[in-house]
Amino acid sequence: MSDAKTQIDQTVKSNDVVLFMKGTKMAPQCGFSSRVAGVLNYMGIEFTDVNVLEDETIRQGIKDYSDWPTIPQLYVKGEFVGGCDIITEMTLSGELDQLLEQNGVAYDKDAADKIREANA
């Protein structure tokens, strides 16, 4: 398990935005992963996707790493942000915009506003 932890740690710390998900950003394999990847893609956020279905040690390892029981899991600048419900809430409240701005992560502000308008 330490190999998985090392691999996860390196991935999280060497990429600005990482989404551990079921499937890939272009072919999500669960609704929750699809929702978060869809938000990130729509907002034009460059992110690294890690398909936990390809490696059981990573699938369990990420849960242990974050002490969070579910997937997807989003990391920004090495910090765990949350899963699908948290990312959805943060997107709708504008908190995700603030987090991205604070961390110097580029995103499409107009797209973020459109998501909020569509869900108002």
- Three-class SS of residue 110? helix
Q: Which residues pair with 17 in a beta bridge?
A: 76
- The CA distance from 66 to 70, in Å, is 10
Summarised one tens digit per residue, pLDDT across range 55-111 is 999 999 999 999 999 999 999 999 999 999 999 999 999 999 999 999 999 999 999
Q: How far apart are CA 97 and CA 99, in angstroms?
A: 6
Taking alpha carbons only, the member of 104, 56, 44, 100 closest to residue 74 is 100
| Residue pLDDT, tens place only, 32-56 | 999 999 999 999 999 999 999 999 9
CA distances from 111 to 15, 24, 36, 116 (A): 23, 21, 14, 9
In the chain, the domains with their CATH numbers are: 2-118 (3.40.30.10)
Q: Does residue 1 surpass a pLDDT of 70?
A: no
Helix (H, G, I), strand (E, B) or coil at 11: helix
- Across all residues in the chain, what is the average pLDDT? 96
pLDDT value at position 2?
Answer: 74
